[in-house]
Amino acid sequence: MRKAIYPGSFDPMTYGHLDIIQRAAKIFDELTVSVLNNKLKTPLFSVEERVKILQKAVADMPNVKVESFSGLLVDYAKSRDVPVVIRGLRAITDFEYELQNAQTNAKLSRGELDTMFLTTSLEYAYLSSSSVKEIASFNGDISMCVPDFVAELVYQKYGFLKK
């Protein structure tokens, strides 16, 4: 069985993430979307909230599950017996950071964990969770960035009603 992990912060999940999830789910038999529980960052959504959002978004994808993890990605992947990590590349600016992470993970895992990059579809190439949060914090329109139910939750966090 071909298994992969798609790790990230997903704070919050965007259409760009969903695009990568849908495409990776066609390549692999089982895809686990894994939300990093990062104690160093102060996220907008708790890990539990981010997992719930993702679970709702992938409810119609039978070979996709959602989990959270903490610690090193290589340790988590090993514990799940998964040899491949999926990451999305939007632009050349993502590449240096992603290449370094992929090489670090390959080294840390002694070659047992590979990273596969999927290029984000062009229509979502401009999207990031950070810009979604910035736009929403000024009550701007994020309907082109995230599904409606996510937009509603983001606006609630900033004390706005859904636009």
Of positions 37, 104, 128, 131, contacts ligand PNS by CB under 6 A: 104
Which residues from 28-87 bind ligand PNS, rule CB under 6 A?
Answer: 36, 72-73
Helix (H) or strand (E) holding 97: helix 92-108
Is the Cβ of residue 106 or residue 160 nearer to ligand PNS in the bound state? 106
Q: Which sign, positive or negative, has the C-alpha torsion 65, 66, 70, 74?
A: positive
Distance in angstroms (rounded) separating the CA atoms of residues 9 and 23: 19
Question: Residue 28 is encoded by which pair of tokens?
Answer: 């692999």
3 state DSSP class of 8: strand
Is the Cβ of residue 7 or residue 12 nearer to ligand PNS in the bound state? 7
CB of 122 to ligand PNS, least distance (A): 20
Binding region for ligand PNS (CB under 6 A): 7-9, 36, 72-73, 101, 104-105
